[in-house]
Amino acid sequence: MDSIVVTGNGPLNGEIPIAGAKNACLALMPATLLSEEPLILTNAPRLSDIATMTVLLQSLGADAASLQNDKVLALSSHDLTSTRADYDIVRKMRASNLVLGPLLARAGHAEVSLPGGCAIGARPMDIHIDGLEKLGAVIDLKDGYLHAKAPGGLKGAVIDLAFPSVGATENLMMAATLAKGSTVISNAAREPEIVDLARCLNAMGAQIEGAGTDRIEIQGVDRLGGATHRVVTDRIELGTYMLAPVIAGGDVECLGGTLDLVASFVDKLAEAGVSVEETGRGLRVRHDGGRVRAVDVTTEVFPGFPTDLQAQMMALLTTAQGVSTLHETIFENRFMHAPELVRMGAEIEVQGGTARVTGVERLKGAPVMATDLRASVSLILAGLAAEGETVVSRVYHLDRGYEHVVRKLSGVGAKIERVKGT
């Protein structure tokens, strides 16, 4: 297994291009299953999760090709040959469950493996299932698979989500586009990835209003056409790289970033004493490398502080002036990076969903292990300012959500390299 070696090397300077959003692309790709016409996605990120979704779509009979250095995805599901999402693919990536709604709407039936356990939490699908049943589907669990059918087609309904789940909102919004009549999803998720998906579906001929608010209305149509859609910027990659010059000092411009994508995060940085500048090309962060002020962070659904930036923020707060607390409210087990940061000399106490971080002068490099996607990049960020060398192992987690990490960080002066595993 490959590892990444980072050596604290002083301030970072330059530009980092931010890619298209993994979590938008993983919802946009299954939208091809709703139509017989081609769907072209531009500004696609080059990630192992995107490759896994490509394999899944191909296993259903869709054509899925990546062009122009993987920046463009050409998708078409004119002839579906299967409606079964196999366990062997789904267990690699939970987002595979986003084919359930589109398959049910298009083919009237689907067999989708339940994803199984996840490092950061139980992550059940009850809200997805409840919503699809409200749209008239009959869903049984057999041999680890959800068997869903709607022989007469789906019918519009009013669905009040028990929690504003991102995945459930995406699955139900896609299913409702071809349902008879109108659907209202209330207490819907408001993440930018939902807005991006609705924008693409409307370009395909859907009738969706209210995406980005907690009430989404969908007027079902008989069929959807094709479209060309540019994937929205990855706000989590953006936030991650904005923290690099704060942790190591320096002046970095994140190209393609916009404030609306990361407003609550930028507010938290301001509280810690760090300002962010909009440049017209992106977001610029300058910091003298001094210790920031301790702050309290509570993760929330959008537009609150994103859970996917919690680990990276913890890496910063390990050297803050004072004591910070981080409350993780979205996932029940998302502090696995804490003991690894403690190996680097951080002072962190975790109790349930709360981590108490007492800032130290400086971290020390150490061998550490990645446990999930965001935990892995938080260890790399911590290594940027640590004394000596940090060796992060199990970086396959990182490849799922960050393209060209070594190239992007060394491009602004970081001392970082990838070491091939034996």
Dihedral in degrees, nearest 10, Cα atoms 218, 54, 242, 277:
-50
Q: Does residue 373 belong to the site contacting ligand EPZ (CB under 6 A)? A: yes
Show the binding pattern over residues 269-308: x = contacts ligand EPZ (CB under 6 A), - = does not: --------------------------------------xx
Phi (first) and psi of residue 284, to 5 degrees: -115, 130
The residue count for binding ligand EPZ (CB under 6 A) is 25
CA 403 to CA 400: how far, in whole Å?
A: 8
- Evaluated on CA atoms 87, 92, 94, 98, the torsion sign reads negative
Q: Output the residue with the shortest Cβ distance to ligand EPZ.
A: 167
Q: What is the closest distance, in whole angstroms, from the C-beta atom of residue 94 to ligand EPZ in the complex?
A: 6
In the residue annotation, 200 being an active-site residue is answered as: no
Q: What is the closest distance, in whole angstroms, from the C-beta atom of residue 124 to ligand EPZ in the complex?
A: 5
- Evaluated on CA atoms 258, 264, 269, 273, the torsion sign reads positive
Q: Does residue 330 belong to the site contacting ligand EPZ (CB under 6 A)? A: yes
Specify the DSSP class assigned to residue 138.
E
Quick one: 128 or 408, whose CB is closer to ligand EPZ? Answer: 128
**Options 167, 220, 282, 365; binder of ligand EPZ; rule CB under 6 A:** 167
**Options 305, 331, 335, 402; binder of ligand EPZ; rule CB under 6 A:** 331
Q: Which stretch binds ligand EPZ (CB under 6 A): 119-127, 272-280, 337-345, 354-362?
A: 119-127
Q: What is the closest distance, in whole angstroms, from the C-beta atom of residue 340 to ligand EPZ in the complex?
A: 17
Quick one: 208 or 330, whose CB is closer to ligand EPZ? Answer: 330
**Options 25, 127, 157, 227; binder of ligand EPZ; rule CB under 6 A:** 127
Cβ-proximal residues to 143 (8 Å cutoff; 6+ apart), any chain: none
Give, for 344, the enclosing helix (H) or strand (E): none
Quick one: 316 or 412, whose CB is closer to ligand EPZ? Answer: 316
Q: What is the closest distance, in whole angstroms, from the C-beta atom of residue 130 to ligand EPZ in the complex?
A: 8
Q: What is the closest distance, in whole angstroms, from the C-beta atom of residue 103 to ligand EPZ in the complex?
A: 17
Q: Does residue 125 belong to the site contacting ligand EPZ (CB under 6 A)? A: yes
Q: Does residue 168 belong to the site contacting ligand EPZ (CB under 6 A)? A: yes
Q: What is the closest distance, in whole angstroms, from the C-beta atom of residue 332 to ligand EPZ in the complex?
A: 7
**Burial class of residue 421, CB neighbours in 10 A (0-12, 13-18, 19+):** exposed
Q: Does residue 26 belong to the site contacting ligand EPZ (CB under 6 A)? A: yes
Quick one: 265 or 331, whose CB is closer to ligand EPZ? Answer: 331
Cα distances (Å, whole numbers) of residue 27 to 24, 44, 95, 381, 391 = 5, 12, 8, 28, 33
Tokens 């079964």 identify what position?
84
Would you state the structure tokens that stand for residue 152, as one six-digit string? 């007469």
Residues 202-221 contacting ligand EPZ, CB under 6 A = none
Cα distances (Å, whole numbers) of residue 186 to 47, 173, 401 = 32, 11, 30
Strand order from edge to edge, sheet including 109-113: 84-85, 109-113, 145-149, 138-142
Q: Which residue in 25, 118, 200, 254 is the catalytic one?
A: 118
Nearest to 358 by CA among 385, 386, 319: 319
Cα distances (Å, whole numbers) of residue 31 to 14, 40, 72, 225, 251 = 37, 11, 15, 11, 39
Is 157:136 a contact under the CB 8 Å cutoff? Answer: yes
Q: What is the closest distance, in whole angstroms, from the C-beta atom of residue 172 to ligand EPZ in the complex?
A: 10
Quick one: 113 or 319, whose CB is closer to ligand EPZ? Answer: 113
Specify the DSSP class assigned to residue 96.
G
Q: Does residue 188 belong to the site contacting ligand EPZ (CB under 6 A)? A: no
**Options 12, 139, 166, 274; binder of ligand EPZ; rule CB under 6 A:** 166
**Residue ranges that bind ligand EPZ, judged by CB under 6 A:** 23, 26, 94-95, 121-128, 163, 165-168, 189, 307-308, 330-331, 373-374, 401
Active site residues: 118
